[in-house]
Structure 1
Amino acid sequence: MEIVVQVKLIPEADQAAALSGTVHTVNEAANWVSSVALERGVPREYELRKHTYAELRSWGLGAQAAQHVIKKVRDAYTALNANVKAGHLGKPGSKGGRKAETKPIVFRPEAAQPYDDRCLSWQYDTQTVSIWTTAGRLKNVRFACSAGALKTLREHRQGESDLIEGDGVFYLYATCEVPEAEQYEPNGFIGVDLGVVNIATTSTGYKAAGRGLNRHRKRQLDLRRKLQRKGTKSAKRLLK
């Protein structure tokens, strides 16, 4: 079973500048690849790579980063086509569907960028990462997460991680493959009836009332009887 673990990066000022520049550059590159993809009829990933890879490398993107940008764009168009076919953007031939198919997909400047183990490595003992950027490889970038998240990363992290920037804060979303939890099979069932006199009564005959609640009810009942016996105007007001 795949789960995603989020960690917060705590970069130094120069590291933060490099990370921000990288995120913006790869998404600007993705927008250019997106326009090429639409212009050429959204070819397969291999065909799209032939038309864009060399140009992306000239932008300062590493080999893996360039391929991830191309794959990100192709995956976005695959998802778009699936939504159009499923009618999520309107009926076939509708204005919404035509508009989506005739305009290039646009990526936000801070949209997620995938990383694999060739451009991102984790050091769990020191809670740091080494990550590729357009300014070069950054080493010893600190990250923070819970003890449970760190344990999951150490034992189950596999595949790609996404770098995301939000309001000047950087996060890594790591994919972890954890084993499926054992399914619990009940060996019987029990019915529960909720009531007023008894808070709960089960089908086995057990009655849950609560010692404190029973004492409170007895005190209230005794007080009501005393007031009824007294019969004064003030007592009657309290009984209302």
Structure 2
Amino acid sequence: MKLTAKVKLLPTPEQRGYLLDTLRRFNAACNYISEVAWETRTFKQIPLHHRVYHTVKDRFDLSAQMAVRANAKVVDAYKLDKRVKRSFRELGAITYDDRVLSWKLAASTVSIWTVGGRQTIPFAAGEYQRRLLATRQGETDLAYVGGEFYLFATVNIEEPDPVEVRGVLGVDLGI
């Protein structure tokens, strides 16, 4: 079963600035890519990549992998509906993969690509999140929520065995 582990980043003021600038630059690149996709009606990953890759890297000063991630974000947005032009919030979340973000669980740090270079940033996580992170698989989202930075990591845990119900089963409808 797939779950999400949420951890809070604890950046220095300088690292905080780098993370904010990274979000802004990345999402500006997504808006540029979306504009190109909309104007040319190019919504598939590889054709759009060929149209925008070098321009995105140069104009927005992104690493190669971040240019690829921006393209993927735009393509995913257009999968929902190609009749509406997509735009991206200035501080919208970024999806990182293992090429641009690595976890050091024992040290409680992540190494993450930013526009200021790769940064090693501590994170806060409880024991439950640490157990989840041991099964981390795939991508991790960097999000700016309520003035704080969080990482949302996809984890894969074993599904518990079903419990046989006898008698009455109660359901909380939240009413």
Give the TM-score taking structure 2 as reference length. Answer: 0.91
CA distance in 1, matches of 2:147, 2:36: 30
Number of the residue aligned with 1:138: 119
Aligned with 2:130 (options 147, 150, 155) = 150
Number of the residue aligned with 1:35: 35
Tell me, yes or no, if the aligned pair for 1:4 and 1:174 is still in contact at 8 Å: yes
Structure 2 residue 169 is the aligned partner of structure 1 residue 168: no
Matches within 5 A, 1:54-65: 54-58=54-58, 59-65=60-66
Percent identity, aligned pairs only, is 36
Change (3 A) 1:51 1:10: same
Structure 2 residue 167 is the aligned partner of structure 1 residue 190: yes
CA distance in 1, matches of 2:167, 2:12: 58
Q: Which has the larger radius of gyration?
A: 1
Where does the alignment leave 5 or more consecutive residues of structure 2 unmatched? 170-175
Number of the residue aligned with 1:2: 2
CA distance in 2, matches of 1:15, 1:28: 20
| Structure number with higher relative contact order (C-alpha < 8 Å, ≥ 6 residues apart) | 2
Tell me, yes or no, if the aligned pair for 2:43 and 2:78 is still in contact at 8 Å: no
Query: Cα RMSD (Å) of the superposition?
Result: 1.5
Number of the residue aligned with 2:45: 45
Q: CA shift at 1:131, angstroms?
A: 0.2
CA distance in 2, matches of 1:168, 1:152: 25
Give the TM-score taking structure 1 as reference length. Answer: 0.67
Tell me, yes or no, if the aligned pair for 2:23 and 2:90 is still in contact at 8 Å: yes
Q: Figure out how many residues of one structure are paired with residues of the other and give that number.
A: 168
Q: CA shift at 1:60, angstroms?
A: 1.2
Number of the residue aligned with 2:173: none
Tell me, yes or no, if the aligned pair for 1:110 and 1:166 is still in contact at 8 Å: no
Q: CA shift at 1:185, angstroms?
A: 2.7
Number of the residue aligned with 2:95: 114
**Aligned partner of residue 137 in structure 1, secondary structure:** strand
Stretch deviating more after TM superposition (160-169 or 31-40): 160-169
Matches within 5 A, 1:219-230: none
Q: CA shift at 1:191, angstroms?
A: 6.2
Q: CA shift at 1:57, angstroms?
A: 1.0
Number of the residue aligned with 2:79: 78
Q: Structure 1: which 4+ aligned runs deviate by more than 2 Å?
A: 189-192
Paired letter, 2:90: P
Paired letter, 1:27: N
Matches within 5 A, 1:85-104: 101=83, 103-104=84-85
**Aligned partner of residue 52 in structure 1, secondary structure:** helix
Greater helix proportion: 1
Write out per-residue CA displacement over residues 197-236 of structure 1, whole angstroms, 9 at most, x where no aligned residue: xxxxxxxxxxxxxxxxxxxxxxxxxxxxxxxxxxxxxxxx
